[in-house]
Structure 1
Amino acid sequence: MIALLGASGAVGGHVLAGLRARGLDVRTGSRQSGVDIRDDRSLAAFIDGARLVINCAGPSHDTAARVARAAVRVGADYVDAGGDSDDAMVDAGDRTVLFAAGASPGLSGLLPRWLAGGFDEVRSLTAYSGVLDRFTWAGAEDFLSGTTEPGAAWREGRRRSGALSREHDVLLPYFERPVVALPFLDRENEATARQLSLVDGQWYSVVENGHLLRALDRASGLPRERAVAAIRDAAALDVAGRSPHAILLIQLDGVRDRAPFTRTVAVRADSVAALTAAVTVAAAVAVLSGEVPPGANRAGEVLPASVVENIAGSGLTVSDASIAELAPAEEGVL
């Protein structure tokens, strides 16, 4: 039996549908159904007898460690759609505990490893992640809680602060409009760089030049609750009257058959919740199948390639071309 927390939320609802579509037995829990994550007895009673506990309750930075420890105590494996902080890491014993099993972080760390399988040597990586969608309150909290270093990049085999700056009017494939690219380097990016022995790497979060960008720029000067509310309201204004989407673009450059080689993968989904849930479900299936080793790990660093194959229906495209070659031509340029 799988115990699913946060089943009534945006991500949890998609996860529940995905698990049931695979014929898996699921016990659902949420605040509405009377499960209190912050109450040890309530949480223990809910997960009792579970083989696997999946946590989609937010904000993940506040719930991940507590629920993971409770799962390990009852002898269950654990998958968290979020929970990327160092504080979330727990002593898993002989259980499998996966954090950050979502779109980003999660799939954003797995895709480069999967794509690298077509290379003899990978030398550089360029990645863009963008979301046009509404935030739940918990989602906005997690968005603000991500520990990143703006402007940092991977250069000559190591982290370098201030290597990059914000880029405006960037044209990218699959994005409807020009975007602003915000460079960052987080723990998942750095782990990817080390795993692939990259010489150079650059990662960008992209947003349109709209309400969300302005809210992000103001967030550091606001009290926590006001900043979260501003992020949530701004995202809703940007997506109003438009179709939401979540897009990951990752380009690798290196060598294959002794010749320079470039390959780009794109993943597109109708919402960030749907994409996150697709990864969470695929990660859960991998854990249940024994494809993930025991211990506490971040999903992007240890999930097998089968996870990518299981989400291939989520608009995954691979091209032997660079992002620049796939981008729409600038108007007026031949």
Structure 2
Amino acid sequence: MTIITTDSLNTKHFSKGSRFGKDATVEDFFRDFWSGIEGEVGRKEKLEEELLTLEEEEKKKKLEQELLTLKKRELHRKYVSLATMVPFALLMAVELEKTCSDQVLLGLISSALGHTILPFTTLYLICTLYLIYNNRKIAQKERELKNIEDGEIIEKERRDIPYTVDDYFNYADAALVTLVIVASIVSQALEQGIIGDVAFSISSLFYFVASATFCYREYKKSKKHEVEKEQGFDDRSEKKTSNMSAAKLMFAGSSILLIRRIMLIALSSSLHPAVGPTLGLVGMIFLIAGSVLIARSYSRKLENIEVSGKGVSIGAGVGNVGDGGSNTEGPAIA
């Protein structure tokens, strides 16, 4: 029986089939064996990293597609909201023409359009509620996409989406539209026009403040753009996102409609019948023009995969349209 000792292992050569050299020792064997294991572990970790990278790329593409779909839906909402303004512009035009003519047909058309105001106000409320929901989804998807790009892993239940100024305006918008709808129904049921007047006045004032805020923010953005342009920064992206022209139109429209509302309350007895419809028509034209510009600007952004921004409901809102002395009101949406 042969006894193998450490000294004999240190001097004894390995078998002919071994890949070690002639003078290899046990330490060399284990060193090479361990390096082989480390190489296998490293290759395994590399494969896992490559697989994780592929999964992140797939998830990123999926999130980008979902985000684009949500923003396309927001564009469709803008068009639906824009469509709700058309009947009220027509109503103002008919009311204005009716004051200058005694045609019975115009009276019938005006009465028919007046009955469409409450349904279109309800449609506007639905659009506003969907805007709130869609904005939260967009913010969530943008946060997930940013985390993937930054390599951060955050548990979904711990991810808090901060509220923006636009979100608060949209919540207030939904609350005021609901108030106007309820006030309209109560006013008709109790034949108390003062209830509707109060709701419409609050709504008109709110949308004036909202459009003024929107205009101020766009003004600050344009000033920032001018400074960056003087410093030599690329201004192409800023030009695509500028809504200054639309903001001015929205502010002008909401201002005219607020003035109209004040005149209807303060000068109702001495006001000429044509003043109300005229101011209402001019204000609606400004609002429609501003809304079209905003929708077109948002549509152009969707052509860029890096589109950013959420929907915002800014404009004349509800309770600004009607004839010179009636309480026939409706939404004007941006």
Q: TM-score, normalised by structure 2?
A: 0.26
More strand by share: 1
TM-score by length of 1: 0.26
Query: Relative contact order (C-alpha < 8 Å, sep 6+): which is higher?
Result: 2
Max radius of gyration: which structure?
A: 2
